[in-house]
Chains A and B, each alone.
Chain A
Amino acid sequence: MAVEVRLPTVLRTHAGGASSVQLTGATLGDVLAKLVAEYPGLAGQVVQDDGSLHKFVNIYVNDDDVRYLQGLDTPVPDGAEISILPAVAGG
């Protein structure tokens, strides 16, 4: 499945300045593994070493937060837009 991954500004420096990347994969986990293979500087920034999603990012497959789907096992339909966004909060 060919998908477009949108990167937040904070991560673009690790991806040669790209705001989005075209990748393929059957699940979100596949796609993110390929993203890190292409841009090793992103390792640990989206998926933590223990395999869980980083708590400071929210990921959407089209309009749906993957935490309410199947997390990294969420299937990605062909042509999907995957948005990686920072969780913005404070006190």
Chain B
Amino acid sequence: MQLTKDIYMEMIGHCLSGLPDEACGLLVGTYGEDEASHIFVTKNAAASAMVYEIDPKEMLAVDRQAQDLGADIMGVFHSHTHTDAYPSPTDVAQALDPGWHYVLVSLRDTQPVVRSYTIVDGVITEEPVIAPGVGEPEVSR
């Protein structure tokens, strides 16, 4: 899963600002490929620390914006506030699209942990998260 630094930072910021609840959003790019070109943060319609639900109205709006960009929704991210960045049984049961990337952001520790997976017929496969510039020291001038 390739994310730009801006997308990565917006995702982390949205997850932190959603505390104490889980936060979520959608990744847009070419379906079936690995590179997200845009991020759309959404409300957690479930407003819960245990579960998330992308607001259906926002889903429609993001789908239309993706269409205008000549792209598709190709993944979803959400936070786990007190557990690992690993899909829960609920995540697996509700992972419908074998072509999507499922990105988990764990806020359990001081440093957020980001990991990404594909979930196909209930089988979880981790994939590397590539975000150039993230975690590298700023160059002083």
Q: A residues near B, CB below 8 A?
A: 6, 8-10, 19, 56, 58, 60, 63, 65, 83, 85-91
In the complex, are the beta carbons of B63 and A89 less than 8 A apart?
no
Chain A residues within 8 Å of B59, by CB: 58, 85-86, 88
In the complex, A90 Cα to B57 Cα: how many Å? 17
In the complex, A6 Cα to B67 Cα: how many Å? 10
Chain B, Cβ-Cβ closest to A20: B67
In the complex, B74 has a CB within 8 A of chain A: yes
In the complex, are the beta carbons of B98 and A90 less than 8 A apart?
no
Q: Which of B6-14, B85-93, B105-113, B125-133 is near enough to bind chain A? A: B85-93
In the complex, are the beta carbons of B73 and A60 less than 8 A apart?
no
Chain B, Cβ-Cβ closest to A45: B96
**Other A-B pairs, 14, CB within 8 Å; known A9-B73, A10-B97, A88-B53:** A6-B67, A9-B31, A9-B32, A10-B98, A60-B60, A65-B56, A83-B60, A86-B97, A87-B94, A88-B94, A89-B52, A89-B94, A90-B51, A90-B87
Chain B residues within 8 Å of A9, by CB: 31-32, 72-74, 97, 99-100
Q: B residues near A, CB below 8 A?
A: 24, 26, 31-32, 46, 50-54, 56-57, 59-60, 63, 67, 72-74, 76, 78, 87-91, 94-100
In the complex, are the beta carbons of B52 and A58 less than 8 A apart?
no
Chain B, Cβ-Cβ closest to A62: B60
In the complex, A10 Cα to B63 Cα: how many Å? 13
Chain B, Cβ-Cβ closest to A83: B60
Chain A residues within 8 Å of B60, by CB: 58, 60, 63, 83, 85
Chain B residues within 8 Å of A58, by CB: 56, 59-60
Chain B residues within 8 Å of A90, by CB: 51-52, 78, 87-88, 90-91, 94-95
- Of the residues A19, A65, A89, contact of B51 by C-beta under 8 Å: A89
Chain B residues within 8 Å of A91, by CB: 50-52, 88-91
Chain B residues within 8 Å of A60, by CB: 60
Shortest beta-carbon distance, B123 to chain A, in Å? 16
In the complex, A89 Cα to B78 Cα: how many Å? 9
In the complex, are the beta carbons of B52 and A85 less than 8 A apart?
no
In the complex, A10 Cα to B51 Cα: how many Å? 22
